[in-house]
Structure 1
Amino acid sequence: MSEPVGGSGARGFVRGPQSFVAGLGLIALALFAIWAGDDLARGTLGAIGPGLMPFWLAIGVGLCGAALCVAGLLRAGAPLQGMPLRGPVVVLLAIVLFAVTIRPFAFGSVTTPGLGLAVAGPLAVLVAGYASPEARLSELLILGLLLTAGCMLLFGDLLNLPIPMLPTALIQALSGTIPSRTLLRIAAGILALFGLGLLLLNRRSAKREPIDVAQHSLTT
């Protein structure tokens, strides 16, 4: 009988098919990210541009992919197996949703409203979380709110990267009344407070859940 690819016994050129294919996927993702961000100015370490961090993140992902490919060639691994489509499809949907909501996006004569990272971030985390059948709405909301608040403070406040942080309509409505950086900090604080509030409620409800105890009869 013939052995499965990557199984025991004689092996071909690729000894670890799963590692090798995963590495190729990461390399392809890195090349796409570099191509997509090629028009963004990278700047320098003293004056970081919007394309610097994505570029080096893509380089890191590509190096990880190359390492996986080498491991697949040199080290025996598991054979390729069927993969459920739910995870990749839902994650891809979350990425597309994030791309079309963080800033205005034109579909012919229809243009989506720019919601900024404050809305697009939690929304993408919420959708991507359902790639797992074990996803829980409360946990995804907590993760999305706290993660987005941290990203807003890091990328918008500390690094001052030109990433849309707030909905376009909100910025236009409050233009000239509140400084943009102050508005960003207020929005991040609100998201963090909501996230922490949900976290406390989630923990409190978990403590209040009754514990099922097996009832044992004293009679034999």
Structure 2
Amino acid sequence: MSELNHGRASGRGLVRGPQSLVAGIGLVALALFGFWASGDLPQGTLRAMGPGLMPRWLSVGVGICGLGLVLAAFLKDGEPLARAAWRGPVVVTLAIFAFAVTIRPFTFGSVTMPGLGLIVAGPLAVIVGGFATPEARLRELVILALFLTAGCMLLFGDLLNLPIPIFPVAVVDALSGTLSTRTLLRLAAGLLAVGGLALLFLERAQRRQPVDVAHHSMTT
């Protein structure tokens, strides 16, 4: 058995872990994209963090992990490439791209998309990314998106006070001078949370209804 495994390992040539190599290259590519996407954002300092600090250093961490996997592919025996399941990676990539082009104004050639802020980009990314699995259900993804977006708005926009676009540019211009940004942020986060709770209770009520009907028919 050991001779068979040794023959398999030596038959792979220079690359001993094909799965590690592919995963490492993917992580490095994702890190480079993160650097490119956050290139125009000010980094700031640890005391006054800018919007580019977290994504930039997160990209550094992802890139280091990717380089580690690439190195391990040449040093340690690993699994061969299995049959590719492209749905997950493709859908998650689409979700990241949708978030990047909608959270702030995005220009591609002569086409400029308006910035929609985290209140729109967050739910969109969660819902699109959730369909990476075939078992995804739209209503459950909407509930998750509402809660996650409300939490991110309060954490990054209110508690950490990071200069992240929260609302569409048109909404900010229309409501400027009426309410403070922090008050508007808290109201919007509260509405998202209330909407998520309402959908959650509706979902649970609809799940209990067939059970109640079956129990009533058995008793009668």
CA contact under 8 A between 2:37 and 2:100: conserved in structure 1?
Answer: no
**1:40 aligned residue:** 41
* Secondary structure class of the residue paired with 2:188: helix
CA contact under 8 A between 1:7 and 1:79: conserved in structure 2?
Answer: no
Structure 2 unaligned regions, length at least 5: 215-220
TM alignment of 1:106-121, pairs within 5 A: 106=107, 110-121=111-122
How many residue pairs get matched? 209
In structure 2, give the amino acid aligned to 1:62.
Answer: G
In structure 2, give the amino acid aligned to 1:65.
Answer: G
Q: d(CA) in 1 for partners of 2:100 and 2:145?
A: 16
In structure 2, give the amino acid aligned to 1:195.
Answer: G
Give 1:106 shift.
4.1
Q: d(CA) in 2 for partners of 1:21 and 1:205?
A: 44
Identical aligned residues as a percent:
64
Q: d(CA) in 2 for partners of 1:75 and 1:196?
A: 49
**2:75 aligned residue:** 74
Q: d(CA) in 2 for partners of 1:157 and 1:8?
A: 54
Give 1:117 shift.
0.8
**2:218 aligned residue:** none
TM value normalised by structure 1: 0.82
TM alignment of 1:114-193, pairs within 5 A: 114-193=115-194
Deviations 1:54-76 (A, max 9, x none): 12111211222233224333333
Q: d(CA) in 2 for partners of 1:106 and 1:99?
A: 11
**1:100 aligned residue:** 101
CA contact under 8 A between 2:9 and 2:16: conserved in structure 1?
Answer: no
Structure 1 unaligned regions, length at least 5: 214-220
Give 1:39 shift.
3.5
Give 1:105 shift.
3.1
* Secondary structure class of the residue paired with 1:65: helix
Q: d(CA) in 2 for partners of 1:42 and 1:185?
A: 26
Q: d(CA) in 1 for partners of 2:37 and 2:104?
A: 16
Give 1:48 shift.
0.9
CA contact under 8 A between 1:7 and 1:78: conserved in structure 2?
Answer: no
**1:87 aligned residue:** 88
Deviations 1:27-64 (A, max 9, x none): 22213322432343222211111111112111211222
Q: d(CA) in 1 for partners of 2:39 and 2:117?
A: 22
CA contact under 8 A between 1:116 and 1:164: conserved in structure 2?
Answer: yes
In structure 2, give the amino acid aligned to 1:100.
Answer: V
TM value normalised by structure 2: 0.82
Distance 1:190 1:148, change over 3 A: same
- Greater shift, 17-26 or 93-102, is seen at 93-102
